[in-house]
Structures are given as structure tokens and as C-alpha cells.
Amino acid sequence: MAALFFARSVLASDQGSPEMQHIARAIQEGAQAFMGRQYKTIALMAIAIAVILFAGYWMYGPTQPMALRVVFGFLVGAACSGISGYTGMFVSIRANLRTAAAARTSLTRSLQLALHGGAVTGLVVIGLALLGIGILFLLFGGLSQPQAVVYQLVGFGFGASLVALFAQLGGGIYTKAADVGADLVGKVEAGIPEDDPRNPAVIADLVGDNVGDCAGRGADIFESSAAESVGAMILGAALYPVFGIKGILFPLIVHAVNIVSSIIGVAVVGGKESDDPMHSLNRGYYVTSLLALAGFALGVHFLLDDRWWLLGAGVVGIITSFLFVSITEYYTETRYRPVRSIAEACQTGPATNIITGLAVGMETPALPVIVISAALLLSYYCGVRGLEDAAGISDYAKGIYGTAIATMGMLSSAAYILAMDTFGPITDNAGGIVEMSNQPHEVRDRTDRLDAAGNTTKALTKGYAIGSASLAAFLLFSAYLETIKEIVQRRVEGAGLHLPPGWDFSNINLAGIPVFVGALLGAMLTYIFSSMAIRAVGRAAEKVIEDVRAQFKENPGIMSGTSRPDYGRCVHIVTGAALKEMIMPGAIAVLMPVIIGVSFRHLSTRFHLKSSIDLPAGMAGIVNLSGAESVAAFLMVGTISGILLAMLMNNGGGAWDNAKKYIESGHYGGKGSDAHKAAVVGDTVGDPFKDTAGPSLHVLIKLLATVTLVLAPLFV
């Protein structure tokens, strides 16, 4: 209802002049055309994977009873993820026009409209994750058999992850191919401003803001909420003797609190015309976080039996989100050393700009890694202390549940964070509409202030996303280990034997050949995936550049302002290129863990590969753990490598972008100077880093975990 209220308040607002509406309509048509073609492609791939998944489960005896439920959950998760992404784009391409129109009279009203448009996305995304998991849990009989049912929910997380990867990857390729093409030909070669109506790629660029940052990020956050909730529920099942069903349902309650606190956080954003928009947005974030903390405390009281050390784990997660946002701000804001050092390097040309930018990017993972490490250690300790009187539960299971609580704490403000993220492309589009419709200078000043805040929110939410992915990666890895243990236990008991007390699947030896090879392949995947994503942007951008140059040559009236460029031609070109380029990286990400796990399961006997996990005598012939071990190593090392690489790309790319904006604000010669041209080159390198490869790695990390969770029975 709140999402509907915000949507109606946005859609009922003034739509501005006919010229503004004409430009906004072109953006809408381009975005809808891309999303229609993209989701048709994704749907076909999802159906094909569902058929393969069903065949794999059905043909393998031990998994046959779960086949229908897992595949049904997969399709529901994929559908919900698609709806999440489409909702984000649908609202943003209408809120941009209303935000631009409101900027003619009021900065505050314009700010509120942009945030309300973003709030629709945030609330729908978290609401769908909560609704989808809750309905499947009830449908599968979760109230009567909660421990068994949680393992059947993994298909939902896999479907969400699959669609999110392709949505983020395809949208990221689109937006950055259009952006790079528009910048290099428009700013550098033709010397015209950003969002100049004479640039044939400008509409494609504005479309890209929506399909990449709104639709792609909506699917990304939905996938985070879904996958991490399922992972936390699996770990909660291991503590069933302590909390019963309440420990399993706790993640869903956290998301319900998330929705309520985010609604109030959005509602309090406002202020005076002279206020910094970022201060107003931060105020809403602080209110949301405080309310989420209060709700978390109530959840611990009613569901976790007043175990206040577990509340401490949740507080660790909330503090971690604040620290990640602050670290990202330090590396991407123009007020601080990293961005200014890159801008200063632009004075001596593009080469020194690239060198300094890469150095800054490589520096950026250091502080976040320290924060993640501290968060894991503290939340693990809180879990052990909070459950120290729980008899029959290992310290490892207690500590891992603490890390799960910390992850949920970090996600407790996800709806508001997503609203801030969608705020960015809405205000960016509003600035483009104002520029292209030749509005007065003071109107552009207002949208520039909002756009500056939007650039900050986009960077900060990327930091938040990788921070939550980092904590979630360990949560999902732990859920994978717990799933393997459950599978082994069922197989052994089915053979009339029993595992010794305290046996688990956590003591994996890196010296084992299957483990070491799986680890190497996991690290390799993140680099080859990033390479393919960046190359895809380069190839698609080449087509945009060629078209823009051709239009300038074919129609000299474009530059003189006597005729309009063919915007639709550019949109069509970049749409086709982006959809073609997204398939191969996504396919490799899905197939690699499957190939590794199944291959090592079958080859272990032929190559005499001994498992590093000790099994009691007589059980080695019942279960073979080489495939499960190799996938565990693949998942963990791939996750570590992906986290570090994503931080480098997100923050390095953001620093390059804001170094350009710092120069455009009048430093080192301002717009048109040699330093500015060097900064544009650096920005075009950083664009696929921060908006294509980096955000796609967030999703890749969690996709690997959900793939392995779904297919875990096939690896044993």
C-alpha cells in the first residue's frame, strides 16, 4: 500500500512542458523496448535451465522427491526477480519527468518526488522477496516440517540470482556502451556538453541510467534479500532444538521491519530550499537505521528468547553498513584525497590519470576487508556467547548463526538504500530532460544539485551492496556446508549407519588436489567474467561511436542545430549489442560450478583423489565428497577474489568519474581543457568498471552460492 501511495503521488504530479514530455517519452520508449527484449531473452534461458534442473534432480535417485518443488521455487524466484527489475524501471522513467518539472519551482519538491519514485522500487523489491519466500514456505508445508522445507527453498534463491545476473549484466553493458560512446564522440571529439540534444547517443545514455541502475539494481537487491534470507533460514534450521520455527522465521521478520522503517525514513525526507540534498537523504537513512535497530531488538525479544548477544550481532551488521558507506564516500567524493589526486594527475595527460586511478582502485579493498574481517569475528563471537547454554549445538553452528544475524542487520535498511540508489538515475534523467528542453539556468542549477547527490547515492549504494554481498557470501557458504552435512547424514542413515557425534563438513583441507584445483578455478572465474563484461562494453561502445560519427557526417545540420539526430537508431544499435554480449559471461558463471562438482564426483576414483574429510570406516563407499569439496573451494576462493575485484572496480571507477566532475566544476582549467579531456578518458575506463563488471560481480558472488546450494545433492 505504501508503494502504491508513493507511486500515485509521483504519477499525479505536474509533467512539465510539451518539449519535456517529448524527451521523456523517447526515454520511456527506449527503456521499455530494451526491457521487453531483455526479459524475453532471460525468460527463454530461465525455462531452459528449469528443464535441465528438473531432469538433473529427477534422474538422480536421492533428489527425485524434491524435483518439482525446487524447480517450481526456481521459476517463482526468477519471476519475482524479473518483476522487481521491471518495477524499478517502470517508475523511474516516469518519475524523471515529474522531478524535472518540479525543479522549475522547488528543489525540495523535486527531491521528494525523486526519492518517492525510488521508494516504490525499494518497497516492492523487499516486499516481493518476503512474500515469495513466505508463500513457498507455507505452500511446501513449512509449518509442519520446517527443517525439511527450508532446503527446498534454495530454488527460489537460484531463480532470483539468475535473473539478477543477466539483468545487471545486460543493463550494465547497455548503459556504459551508450555513455562511453556519447562521451568520447560528444565531449572529446565534438566538444559539446553532456546531455546536449545534438548528440545522437544522448537518449540511449539516459535510457541506460534506467535499465542499468534502476532495473539492474532492483533485481540485484531482490536477489540479495532472497538468497540471504534462504541461507539464514537454513542455518536457523540447524538451531531448531533451541528456537524451534522462530529461528527459521526470524529473517522474514527482519524484512518486515525493514519495510516499515524504510517507509518512515522516506516520509521524513524534506527540508529547506537551501539545504544540501545529501543531508536530507542521510537524515532519512539515520531514521531508517534507528527504527530498524528497534525492530531488531523486538525480534530478538519475541523470537530469539531475549538472547541479547544476538542483538549485538545485528548491531555489528548495521555498523558495518555505515562503515562501508563512509569508506565508499571517502574514495569517491571530490572532497577527499583519492579523487583529487586523480584530478591532479589529469594535468599531465590521460596516461598519468589512468596510472593514478588504477593505484587508487587497488588501494580501495584494504579498509573494507578489515571491516568485513572485524564484522565476521565479532558476530561469530556474539553468536557463540548468545547461544552458549544451547546443549548439543557445536560452537561453529552457534557462531555461524551470529554471522547470519549480522547479515540480516546489514540488510535491515535495504529498502531505503535501494530508494537512494534509484534516486540517482531519476535525478540524472531529470537533468538531461532539463538540458535538452532548454530550461532556464536556475532550473538546471537545481537539477545539478540533485544530480550531484544522486552520483553520491549511486556510489554509496554500490559500497553497501558489495558490503552486504561480502557478509552474505560467508553466510551462503556456511549454508552450503550445512546442506552437504544434511545430505551426507540422510544418505548414511538410509544405509542403516550413523555418523559419529559432532561430524561436520567444515574441515576442508586446501592441500587436497580437488580442493586446490577448485580454488584456482574459482579465482580464475572472477577475472575471466570481468574481462568478458568489460570487453562487451568496449565492443558495444564501438558500434555507438561509429553510429554517432556517421550521423554527424551524414547530417551536418545536427551540429548547427537545424535538424535533430536519429536517437532511435542509437537506441536500437546498443540494445542489440548489449543483449548479444550478456549471454556468454552469464552462461559461464552458471555452468562452471556444475561442471566442477559433477566432474570431480565422477573422476575422483579414476584419479585416486582422496577426500580430505574423514569418514568412518564403511561409509566411503556410500558417499563420495570430492565433488562437494572442490565446489566448496571454488565457491569460497571465487567469493574472496570477487569481493576484492568488485571493490577495486566500484570505487576505482567512481573515483575516476568524480575526478572528471571535479575538473568540470572549474578546477585545472575546467570544461574543454586538456585536463578535462584526460579526465574523460579516465572516466570512460572507469565506466565499465563501476557500472558493469563491478555490480555484476556482486551478483556473481551470490549466484555461485545459490547454484551450489541448489545442486549440492548432485555433488555428493
pTM of the model: 0.84
The whole-angstrom separation of Cα 154 and Cα 466 is 22
pLDDT at 610 over 70: no
Averaged pLDDT, 615-637: 76
Q: Residue 153 — very low, low, confident or very high, per pLDDT cuts 50/70/90?
A: confident
Residue 398 identity: K
Ranges of each domain in the chain:
2-715
Contact by Cβ (8 Å): 320, 327: no
pLDDT computed for residue 526 by the predictor: 92
Measuring CA to CA, how many Å separate 154 from each of 193, 219, 476, 686? 49, 17, 11, 35
pLDDT computed for residue 613 by the predictor: 63
pLDDT at 506 over 80: no
Q: What is the DSSP string of 478-528?
A: HHHHHHHHHHHHHHHHHTT--PPTT--S----TTSHHHHHHHHHHHHHHHH
pLDDT computed for residue 256 by the predictor: 87
pLDDT computed for residue 360 by the predictor: 92
pLDDT computed for residue 616 by the predictor: 62
pLDDT computed for residue 619 by the predictor: 64
Q: How many CB atoms lie within 10 A of CB 367?
A: 18
pLDDT computed for residue 359 by the predictor: 93
Q: Residue 352 — very low, low, confident or very high, per pLDDT cuts 50/70/90?
A: very high
Which cell numbers in the block locate residue 375? 564484522
pLDDT computed for residue 645 by the predictor: 92
pLDDT computed for residue 353 by the predictor: 92
Q: Residue 355 — very low, low, confident or very high, per pLDDT cuts 50/70/90?
A: very high
**pLDDT tens-digit series, residues 529-566:** 899 888 888 888 888 888 888 888 888 887 777 777 78
pLDDT computed for residue 620 by the predictor: 60
Q: Residue 101 — very low, low, confident or very high, per pLDDT cuts 50/70/90?
A: confident
The whole-angstrom separation of Cα 348 and Cα 341 is 12
pLDDT computed for residue 528 by the predictor: 92
pLDDT computed for residue 612 by the predictor: 59
Q: 92-101, 144-153, 666-675: which range is least confident on average?
A: 144-153
**pLDDT tens-digit series, residues 405-447:** 898 888 888 888 888 888 888 888 888 888 888 888 888 888 8
Which cell numbers in the block locate residue 273? 530550499
**pLDDT tens-digit series, residues 199-250:** 777 777 777 777 766 777 777 777 778 877 887 888 888 788 888 888 888 8
